[in-house]
Structure 1
């Protein structure tokens, strides 16, 4: 047994979607990062597939959106829902949203896609390695100690070599059963287990059968074989999910699948049979001193809103810029407290909304299982507002009944094309951005002495979108969240900007936060 000691700024434990994205976001900000994953390869299971428009916006910011879309090309036409007594008889369901279909170009520059996790993870791993992250699969965290100067981690490689690594911070992206969360004694709350189901992953050549009726999910309304098919590659790989036959042996499934397919001669190869329990479990705190939970380690939710992986990736996006600014010395360590105050309420709300959505594809966007009001699906993806955190709240109104983002601090910057193919979101780099109206020249002088702020002109039409006068300005964080809104040019714009920036970087006094001392955090409030 051999011991080595390595210095590293951030250690990410877990090589799934949240962990790999955390490494990518950190490298974008110039932070040294090591990622360890006890598995020797990326996931062999398709698992998560729906990559929503917000996640694709983040991939666009990373410059990898085209690579993700290329990995997703086989399912490019498989965006629909379908239902019927068998796969052979199923018909596509009309795609509707509660408020009607939007003008997609008016709300996002990105395109959502279906990309199975076993195809997406290799793309993320390759990009993380190419951009300087130390990615080490086949390496397990076997012990850690959180001290005054960071985390001392003990790692073991597949050949039994033991290494020690010091990191300023550790991101636990080690899955729903998170050994790190368990070791820290962090409890979870939520609706708990919501039932039982089984996923049957199989191969069958069904592309011709569904041609012209391609689907993302197909609901089988058949009492002999109820469930739903999910397309993995649109050709030969599929998942059948059912709440019946939970204890059925693997060799019994082909006949059931043929019944659900509607073809008694279909050749079927069972890849795996995995019982699972949908449920809602949200960690009561996302932080314990130098250790942060992200992804499934922080929140487990049913797949009914296709939000779990996307929410985990947004966790990493929120945390990365904050760690970077603290490590680079441009922010106070108190900024890291806002990871809890921002992401915990949103994680809770999305997990709860996922839990109340019915599994019936015909009614899932209209009815909840217990009469709890449903957030608008677009609002759930793009429209969450942080209740408190690293921004200056202006008391403006906000709703989740529809997509309501008009420059309110704590919300994602509204998208608009400034020139063909260039979005307002593309203005946001690794520093804060000050977006100024056409009569706001005084802001340039105000920002001249602030090297961590870039200044960009916005047209008067966009000023109206975000409730600014032509002399107003928006301060936007590196994660594309509005930090401060100044509707007009104040008497002392430089002083106002300095104050807003200080508040957004944790330099103002913060009340004592319970998660710093190990006390449980209070239950999350829903985003406003």
Structure 2
């Protein structure tokens, strides 16, 4: 067998795996990605990428490309509801409440783009960045020892120092490691997604939406806009995949749709499960391999992007000899609580969407969308701040992403542009902040010398 070597091997070439490759190349790490499928996803899947994910793409130099690829859904940010699509009314956009001054949350707006449109953009970018991207290549198994991981393929082996498992909710790597999962398990009823084509541009004109809840007693469900014109996904409760879907859809839409074409009918069950460990030796779980949750606002996809943004700089620092291997322990310490938090929030938000009832215990939406979750332990020095995660209070607290502020009158440079791929020290509200490469505040104090001492300590693997 031939023996290719690579510092990092990624198993899985979906959205999260491709982003992992891009993050590692951004940090000048050689990386090989394996994907058993021949192509990127043929299904729309995730469609809403919030501001934190777009900030990651901004750092990678890809935000403009992503926004351009998403132009078909520009202006489709609203929700809608009605008995049928023909009767549906557009709902007003959500606005933050409170009497405080209006704060611009991010240098990047959120983006609506179907996963089957986004993944080819990321794949092309990863190849152009120098990643070895191999589709039609299945990893059959792996062996781990003290120095690395040996992946077994058909007729060859690949030797890597670290393995990233981006192989999805049914992760064979997670199962091989014996990593269990905890959580609520199955959530709600089984569901069916019906992916179809029909030219509904005239029907929705002036009432464009991202998601429309339909309440017809014979055809209730939700309609997701994939491109705003011809591509749609109808989501119905119940696990019956053999219904007369053309008839159901015409009832739900309330218009004849003579050009209706059903592309796929997929039954699925929402689950809330989080891995009990995100790391085992030289193997690290990311994305759906680490956490599954109801698909509320693409929470799983966005959380997976945050996983690899966190893990990527740490792997790079260790591989360069800049950091001790103990730094990698902070990946589990930080991302597993974050994954549990988002999975729980996503589950409860999905419940409120179905019932229409408010839940006052839910976190402020920006906690999810703009990096407001606070790491309490990991590669950081806690500053004693005790603000509850449910609130969104961008104040430069340790363990949160630095608040966005424009640095120039032209509004082209943000405080988030100060960090990544390097560390940096900046002044914020009178204090010195030590920013990690993932924009997270690692320490808050009074001197640049103190910041450098903390940085050295954290890289040595001495975490909180």
What's the TM-score, normalizing by structure 2? 0.95
Q: 2:388: which partner in 1?
A: 399
Q: Give 1:400 shift.
A: 2.8
Match of 2:418 among 424, 427, 430: 427
Query: Cα distance, 1:103 vs. partner?
Result: 8.1
Residue 216 (str. 1) matches residue 204 (str. 2): no
**What CA RMSD, in Å, does the superposition of the two structures yield over aligned residues?**
1.8
Cα distance 1:210–1:334, how it changes in 2: closer, same or farther (>3 A)? Answer: same
Distance 1:425 1:209 in 2: 41
Q: 1:229 aligns with which of 214, 223, 234?
A: 223
CA distance in 2, matches of 1:213, 1:261: 14
Encode CA deviations 1:95-132: one digit per residue, 9 max, x unaligned. 22462699886210001111101000000000000000
Query: Judging changes above 3 Å, is the alpha-carbon distance between structure 1 residues 20 and 257 closer, same or farther for their aligned structure 2 residues?
Result: same
User: Are the equivalent residues in 1 in contact too, given 2:241–2:265 (CA < 8 A)?
Assistant: no
Correspondent of 1:274 among 263, 266, 273: 266
- Structure 2 Cα separation of the partners of residues 295 and 86 of structure 1: 35
Q: Give the Å deviation of 1:210.
A: 0.4
Using the TM superposition, give the Cα deviation of residue 235 of structure 1 relative to its aligned residue in structure 2, in angstroms: 0.8
Q: Give runs of aligned pairs for residues 327-342 of structure 1, distance below 5 A.
A: 327-342=319-334
Distance in 2 (CA, whole Å) between partners of 1:265 and 1:475 is: 57
Q: Map residues 170-209 of structure 1 onto 2, 5 A cutoff.
A: 170-194=163-187, 195-209=189-203
What residue is the counterpart of 2:440 in the other structure?
A: 481
Pick the aligned partner of 2:399 from 410, 418, 435: 410
The DSSP-based 3-state class of the residue aligned with 2:426 is strand
The CA deviation at 1:381 is 2.0
Q: Deviations over 1:5-60 (max 9, x none)?
A: 11100000000111000000000000000000000100000000001110001100
What is the CA distance between 1:305 and its match in structure 2? Answer: 4.0
Q: Structure 2: any 5+ residue segments left out of the alignment? A: none
Q: Deviations over 1:112-154 (max 9, x none)?
A: 1111010000000000000000000000000100101100111
CA distance in 2, matches of 1:142, 1:113: 36
Q: Which moved more, 1:355-364 or 1:138-147?
A: 355-364
Whether 2:289 is the aligned partner of 1:297: answer yes
Question: Can you give the 5+ residue segments of structure 1 that lack an aligned partner in the other structure?
Answer: 157-161, 437-462, 512-528
What is the DSSP-based 3-state SS (H/G/I as helix, E as strand, rest coil) of the residue aligned with 1:63? coil
1:99 and 1:392 map into 2 onto residues whose CA distance is: 32
Distance 2:452 2:69 in 1: 43
Query: 2:241 touches 2:266 (CA, 8 Å); kept in 1?
Result: no
Match of 1:240 in 2: 234
- Contact 2:25/2:131 (<8 A) preserved: yes
Quick one: structure 1 residues 100 and 39, their matched pair in 2 at CA, closer, same or farther if it must change by over 3 Å? Answer: farther
CA distance in 1, matches of 2:250, 2:213: 15
Counterpart among 423, 434, 451 of residue 497 in structure 1 = 451
The change in CA–CA distance for 1:422 and 1:207 in structure 2 (over 3 A counts) is same
Distance in 1 separating the partners of 2:316 and 2:169: 26
1:376 is matched with: 364
2:13 is aligned to 15
Work out the number of aligned pairs and report it. Answer: 460
Does the CA-based 8 Å contact 2:220-2:236 persist in structure 1? Answer: yes
Q: CA deviation at 1:503?
A: 3.0
Q: Does structure 1 retain, via aligned residues, the 8 Å contact 2:352–2:358?
A: no
- In 1: Cα distance, 2:175 partner to 2:460 partner: 29
Which residues in structure 2 correspond to 1:40-119 (within 5 Å)? 40-97=38-95, 99=97, 106-119=104-117
For residue 307 of structure 1, give the secondary structure of its aligned residue in structure 2: helix
Deviation string 1:163-210 (CA, Å, 9 cap, x unpaired) is 111000000000000010011110000011012110000011101110
Q: What corresponds to 1:148 in structure 2?
A: 146
1:386, distance to aligned residue in structure 2 (A): 0.5
SS of 1:422's partner is coil
Measured at CA, do residues 219 and 422 of structure 1 come closer, stay the same or move farther in structure 2, by a change above 3 Å? same
Give the TM-score, by structure 1 length.
0.84
Q: Is the 8 A contact 2:433 2:451 kept in 1?
A: no
Q: Secondary structure in 2 aligned to 1:357? A: helix
Match of 1:343 in 2: 335
Alpha-carbon shift at residue 248 of structure 1 (Å): 4.0
Distance 1:316 1:327 in 2: 16
Distance verdict in 2 for CA 1:7–1:384, change over 3 Å: same
